[in-house]
Amino acid sequence: MIRDEPLVLGIETSCDETGVGIVRGNTLLADAIASSVDQHARFGGVVPEVASRAHLEAMGPTIERALADAGIALPDVDAFAVTAGPGLPGALMVGVAAAKAYALSLGRPLYGVNHLAAHVCVDQLEHGPLPKPCVALLVSGGHSSLLLVPDVAGDVRSLGSTVDDAAGEAFDKVARVLDLGFPGGPVIDRMARDGDAAAIAFPRGKYRDGTYDFSFSGLKTAVARWVEAKERAGEPVPVADVAASFQEAVVDVLTQKALQVCKDNGVHDLLIGGGVAANSRLRALAAERCEAAGVRLRVPRPKLCTDNGAMVAALGSELAAAGAAPSELSLPADSSLPIEAITL
Q: Which residues bind ligand KG4 (CB under 6 A)?
A: 15, 140-142, 168, 171-172, 183-186, 189, 274-276, 278-279, 306-307
Residue 162 touches which of ligand KG4, Zn ion, none (CB < 5 to 8 A by kind)?
Answer: none
Residue 189 touches which of Zn ion, ligand KG4, none (CB < 5 to 8 A by kind)?
Answer: ligand KG4
User: Which of residues 279 and 317 has its CB atom nearest to ligand KG4 in the complex?
Assistant: 279
Residue 141 touches which of ligand KG4, Zn ion, none (CB < 5 to 8 A by kind)?
Answer: ligand KG4
User: Which of residues 140 and 247 has its CB atom nearest to Zn ion in the complex?
Assistant: 140
Residue 185 touches which of ligand KG4, Zn ion, none (CB < 5 to 8 A by kind)?
Answer: ligand KG4
User: Which position among 18, 62, 140, 145 is part of the footprint of Zn ion (CB under 5 A)?
Assistant: 140
- State phi, psi for 153 to the nearest 5 degrees: -95, -5
Closest approach, Cβ 79 to ligand KG4, in A, equals 24
307 counts as binding Zn ion under rule CB under 5 A? yes
Using a 10 angstrom Cβ sphere, with 0-12 exposed, 13-18 middle and 19 or more buried, the burial of residue 229 is: exposed
Residue 110 touches which of ligand KG4, Zn ion, none (CB < 5 to 8 A by kind)?
Answer: none
> Strands, E, within 69-132: which ranges?
79-85, 110-114
Site for Zn ion in 109-138 (CB under 5 A): none
User: Which of residues 10 and 274 has its CB atom nearest to ligand KG4 in the complex?
Assistant: 274
- State phi, psi for 119 to the nearest 5 degrees: -60, -35
Per residue in 19-43, is it b (16+ CB within 10 Å) or e — as a string?
Answer: bbbbbbbbebbbbbbbbbeeebeee
CA torsion, ordered 329, 331, 333, 334, to nearest 10 deg: -170
Per residue in 136-175, is it b (16+ CB within 10 Å) or e — as a string?
Answer: bbbbbbbbbbbbbbeebbeebeebbbbebbbbbbbbbbbb
The size of the interface with Zn ion (CB under 5 A), counted in residues, is 2
Distance between CA atoms of residues 130 and 342, nearest Å: 16
Considering only 16-24, 72-80, 233-241, 299-307, which stretch makes contact with Zn ion by CB under 5 A?
299-307
Residue 133 touches which of ligand KG4, Zn ion, none (CB < 5 to 8 A by kind)?
Answer: none
Closest approach, Cβ 264 to ligand KG4, in A, equals 26
Closest approach, Cβ 256 to ligand KG4, in A, equals 17
User: Which of residues 248 and 307 has its CB atom nearest to ligand KG4 in the complex?
Assistant: 307
Closest approach, Cβ 178 to ligand KG4, in A, equals 13
Distance between CA atoms of residues 10 and 308, nearest Å: 9
Rounded to the nearest 10 degrees, the angle between the axes of helix 167-177 and helix 184-192 is 70
Beta carbons within 10 angstroms of residue 101's beta carbon: 13
Residue 162 DSSP code: B
Query: Footprint of Zn ion on this chain (CB under 5 A)?
Result: 140, 307
